Structure 1
């Protein structure tokens, strides 16, 4: 009788131990998934704004093709503008969350894409701007009187080609300073070719903060 009770006790202990291990493993997996999908967060800073500049082929498509992603970083105290390529990356396409890139039916960006890019770059992004070919060409025509590259130019590498045009745009924005926003006919590209979760009046405030200091704006465009 005692042996039977002892055997049952051992079996009950082993069952509890197995259940405990299973629950602990599931808890660890759940915590790991939360860490992997959580967006990198940082306190809102009055001195810096991080914006993803996303170039697509045609916004009117149900699912536009992703051409490039640039990090647009605004430093207000200096003042300074930095454009840093994010995609295509020299590290390789396998490190970029391309599968998470989705445009919703109301032409907004899938939030998971921002989260995944934040994890990949280890940097929090405050806002995004979606621009298609036509919007980028319009900017170039309005500010530099140049046309944006054609698809045949992409054989030279999209980042290398875009870097040239973004550098010209940057130079013009810096030269025009206060009048840059007034020079652009925004209704020609918004909302058909430009979408953003950054309110337009807030974008104007950012530009005013950049152009208000006595020192001139610096603009750097990195790339290949």
Structure 2
């Protein structure tokens, strides 16, 4: 039996469909370099196309943060959740759920670096494919979706003077990718997030945006996904 709006127990894992879509990415995907405090949990994908096929594609890597990777049961690993969110996670519905959904709900107890690392490819370069532009777009995307209350944004507000801009992008920053040291850029002026990125030798652009509260636990180095 399937209730309205309820996924059946055998519903396919949407990550499998995204994996198939990612095979269309013309360049290697970048993620955080291996580190014990991080566990990659998902890679989202967005794209655009015209009569000639794909003309843009972005892969967005999300990861769970373990503040104490030696003991994942340590309460220090738990995210700071409000009571309503905690209750919704603990509530078990009276119908069976797909295993991947149960796993995803359980991960909500822990801090997530949501879409923190993006690899963006464009078929044609333009003013909208520069590193400063893409770095600002990624930073504002994270700010609008994860720091709405802090920015004073209402439900239907999608802009704020508190959002960052290209004028604060600092150039000539070193970015470590797969053993290479690339010349990139950063945004280190926002009170809520830090952003760093670089143009990739394989084509495309790496951008990474991380909440400042998570920075002490991370090594800001990257690698190509194998």
User: If the TM-score is normalised by the length of the shorter chain, which range does it land in?
Assistant: under 0.3
TM-score (norm 2): 0.25
Larger Cα-atom Rg:
1
